[in-house]
Amino acid sequence: MVFPYTRLRRTRQTSWVRRLVQENYLLPSDLILPLFVIDGDNCREPVESLPGVDRLTIDLVIETGRRAAQLGIPAVALFPAVHASLKSDDGAEAWNPDSLICRAVRALKAAVPDLGVICDVALDPYTTHGHDGLLKDGVIPNDETVEVLVRQALTLAEAGCDVIAPSDMMDGRVGVIRAALEERSYTDTLILSYAAKYASSFYGPFRDAVGSSSALGAADKTTYQMDSANSAEALREVGLDIAEGADMVMVKPGMPYLDVIRDVAQGFDVPVFAYQVSGEYAMLSLGAERGLFDRTKAFHESLLAFKRAGARGILTYAALEVAATLPGGR
Segment near ligand PBG (CB under 6 A), from 54-62, 106-114, 171-179, 199-207? 199-207
Residues in contact with ligand PBG, shown as a per-residue x/- string from 156 to 195 under the rule CB under 6 A: -----------x----------------------------
Binding of ligand PBG by 122 (CB under 6 A): yes
E-assigned strand segments in 235-321: 248-252, 272-276, 313-316
Cα separation, 206 vs 187, whole angstroms: 31
Q: Is 277 in the site for ligand PBG (CB under 6 A)?
A: yes
**Are 253 and 198 in contact, with CB atoms under 8 Å apart?**
yes
**What H or E segment, with its residue span, contains residue 37?**
strand 31-38
| Residue whose CB is less far from ligand PBG, 70 or 88 | 88
- Applying CB under 6 A, among 30, 90, 93, 124 the residue interacting with ligand PBG is 124
Q: What is the dihedral of CA 81, 83, 84, 86, to 10 degrees?
A: -110
Dist. CA 134–CA 224, nearest whole Å: 12
Residues of span 204-223 touching ligand PBG by CB under 6 A: 206-207
Asked about 109 being catalytic, the answer comes back as: no
Stretch that binds ligand PBG, among 54-62, 185-193, 201-209, 232-240 (CB under 6 A): 201-209
Q: Could you say which of 109, 221, 252, 307 is catalytic?
A: 252
Q: Which of 278, 285, 302, 316 binds ligand PBG (CB under 6 A)?
A: 278
Q: Of 26 and 53, which CB lies nearer to ligand PBG in the complex structure?
A: 53
A 10 A CB-CB count for 205 gives 23
Of the candidates 210, 200, 201, the residue with the CA atom closest to the CA atom of residue 47: 210
Is there a catalytic annotation at residue 136? no
Q: What is d(CA 14, CA 304) in angstroms, rounded to the nearest whole number?
A: 21
For binding to ligand PBG (CB under 6 A), which residues are involved?
120, 122, 124, 132, 167, 203, 206-207, 277-278
